[in-house]
Amino acid sequence: MGRMNAVFKADEAETREAYSISEWWLEPNTTGPGAHSHPEDDVFFVLEGTMSILVGDRWVDAKPGSFVLIPGGTTHDFENRSQARAGVLNFSPGPFEPQMPDIVQWFAEHPPGPPPPR
């Protein structure tokens, strides 16, 4: 997806469609998927770099080892505002990977770029 990529660690067959576990890696100064919400909780664990994570109306700069829980229904996003590559492990609800072809197409049409100044 351009300056962002995902690696699925546990897919729908392995979790009986209950959740997905994936790594998301963003190159330096790269926006994420855009603000969104869903009814289920979303969980991020920072693996490397500093990931800026939107939780509701507040951005949190999460360093390696940080755990960020997004309660269901809460608007959230993530982006890498730093000068180094950053990665998170994401635990998301339900089977996520069937949506990836549409997500990849969306990013092809709207490539991630540098985040706006905040």
Q: Is the dihedral of CA 84, 9, 44, 37 positive or negative?
A: positive
What Cα–Cα distance (Å) separates residue 33 from each residue in 1, 30, 52, 112?
10, 10, 12, 8
| Contact call for residues 2 and 107 (beta carbons, < 8 A) | yes
Q: What's the pLDDT tens digit per position in 36-52?
A: 998 889 999 999 999 99
**What's the CA gap between 42 and 70, in Å, rounded?**
5
Q: Hey, where are the domains in the chain?
A: 4-109
Per-residue pLDDT of the chain (118 residues; tens, 9 = 90+): 678 888 888 877 888 888 889 899 999 999 988 899 988 899 999 999 999 999 999 999 999 999 999 999 999 999 999 999 999 999 987 766 777 677 767 767 776 667 766 6
CATH architecture of 4-109: Sandwich (2.60)
